[in-house]
Amino acid sequence: MTTMTLVQAVRDALHSQMKLDPSVIVIGEDVGVNGGVFRATADLIKDFGDDRVLDTPLAESGIIGMAMGMAANGLRPVAEIQFLDFIYPAFDQIVNEVAKLRYRSGGKLSCPMVVRAPYGGGIRGGHYHSQSSEAYFTHTPGLKVVVPSNPYDAKGLLISAIRDNDPVFFLEPKRLYRSVKGEVPEGPYEVEIGKAQVTRPGKDVTILCWGAMVPTCQKAADLCASRGADCEVLDLRTLVPLDETAVLDSVKKTGRVVIVHEAPKTCGFGAELAALIAEEAILYLEAPIIRVAGFDTPFPYALEHVYMPSAERIALAVGKVKNF
């Protein structure tokens, strides 16, 4: 085991898979000589050369289109989008081509590619560098959406994503890149895509979260414990495919649910979770479902700390459902 930050775990996953599989290619803006804007691809070009670590023009549609072409022809590209906020010029390529290649070819073609993108707030990036757009991609059949919250999961899930035969969106919480550390095995290993993890067991209230909100929810659970509420924190890890069994088992145990995400509240992925619980476990509920989320505004710069869910905001929501 080695202690790593989350961004180091991402780089380690890339390095291990490029060493094992010559079909793994890294492409994106400044991923080569510069090592990526967050240095997630640092020195890969020295180890594998510029025919496997490709610096691209500032053209997201070109990056995604190139990766799709590579994937359809036997390679396993990992395309980096510098910030998730920059991905919208490639939206047509993603939704109409990448996600549908297997379907429209009748299973004759697959698209084994990964799109890595830092997402979310917490680094005072303002409205062009802080968005949480995961719901757009969870709404697109044919895509898998993975969001790690710690170094161990980051490495294992990224390796699983690279080895997957379908396109995977791998969203990295940049707020946690260097603020969390953890023990990570030195060799390659997989964390199964589609499996949630209980990071804190509890009996009173279920808190559903993912990515950068997991540590915040852990802090909220500690705060709630001092106020008499025993919270279970469930890290979804994967939004598509969703571990519905884990979600429903936790809800049936506690009867109370708080859903937490950074994205705006309206049509955020929390709404899908609330609908699932209402459809499958409504008779187990002892209180209304509460969502703690970003606001329905552009992501603010000066008021970032107000926009993003805090431990206190989450604890207040827990108190409401606990005392309903």
DSSP bridge pairs for 53: 26
DSSP bridge pairs for 76: 24
Return d(Cα 43, Cα 36) in angstroms, integer: 10
Is-catalytic flag, 127?
Answer: no
Asked if omega into 241 is within 30° of 0 (cis), the reply is yes
DSSP bridge pairs for 27: 54, 79
Identify whether the C-beta of residue 263 lies closer than 8 Å to the C-beta of residue 134: yes
Q: Which of 15, 127, 129, 139 is catalytic?
A: 129
Name 249's Cβ contacts closer than 8 Å, sequence gap at least 6: none
Identify whether the C-beta of residue 304 lies closer than 8 Å to the C-beta of residue 124: yes
Return d(Cα 308, Cα 293) in angstroms, integer: 7
SS3 47: helix
The two structure tokens encoding residue 138: 């969870």
For residue 5, report the phi and psi dihedrals to the nearest 5 degrees.
-80, 170
Q: How many helices (H) and strands (E) does the chain have?
A: 12, 14
Return d(Cα 54, Cα 201) in angstroms, integer: 44
Across the beta sheet with 231-235, the strand order is 197-200, 231-235, 205-209, 257-264, 290-294
Return d(Cα 156, Cα 187) in angstroms, integer: 10
DSSP bridge pairs for 79: 27, 115
End-to-end CA separation in angstroms for the chain: 45
| Catalytically active residues, by annotation | 129
